[in-house]
Structure 1
Amino acid sequence: MATQQSQSIQTLLEAEKEAAKTVQQARQYRVQKLKEARTQATKEIEEYRKFKDEEFRAFEASHAGNTQSAQVAIDKETEIKRAEISAAYNQHKDEVLKKLLDRVTLVTPELHRNLKKQT
Structure 2
Amino acid sequence: MVAQKSQGIQTLLEAEKEASKIVEKARSYRTQKLKDAQSEAEKEIAQLKQKNDQEISEFQKKFEGSQSKEQGKLDEGTKKQLDEIKKAFEAKDKQLVQKLLDRVAAVDPKPHPNLVKVE
TM range (shorter): over 0.9
Under a length normalisation based on structure 1, what TM-score does the superposition of the two structures give? Answer: 0.93
C-alpha distance 109-15 of structure 1, shift in aligned 2 (>3 A): same
Shift in Å, 1:116 = 2.8
**Shift of the alpha carbon at 1:104?**
1.8
| Residue aligning to 2:101 | 101
Partner of 1:113: 113
- Any gaps of 5 or more consecutive residues in structure 1? none
1:23-34 equivalence runs, <5 A: 23-34=23-34
2:81 aligned residue: 81
Q: State the partner residue of 2:51.
A: 51
User: Where does structure 1 differ by over 4 angstroms across 4 or more consecutive aligned residues?
Assistant: none
Secondary structure of 1:109's match?
coil
**CA deviation map 1:75-103 (0-9, x unaligned):** 11011101110111011111111111112
| TM-score normalised to structure 2 length | 0.93
- Structure 1 residues 118 and 35, CA, compared in 2 at 3 Å: closer, same or farther? closer
- Structure 2 counterpart of 1:11, which letter? T
Question: Where does 1:15-30 land on structure 2 (aligned, <5 Å)?
Answer: 15-30=15-30
Structure 2: runs of 5+ lacking an equivalent: none
The answer as to 2:27 corresponding to 1:36 is no
What is the rounded CA distance, in whole Å, between the counterparts of 2:28 and 2:116 in structure 1? 112
Distance of 1:71 and 1:93 partners within structure 2: 32
Cα shift at 1:118: 5.0
Instruction: Output the CA distance in 1 between the equivalents of 2:60 and 2:85.
Output: 36
* One-letter amino acid of the structure 1 residue matched with residue 107 of structure 2: V
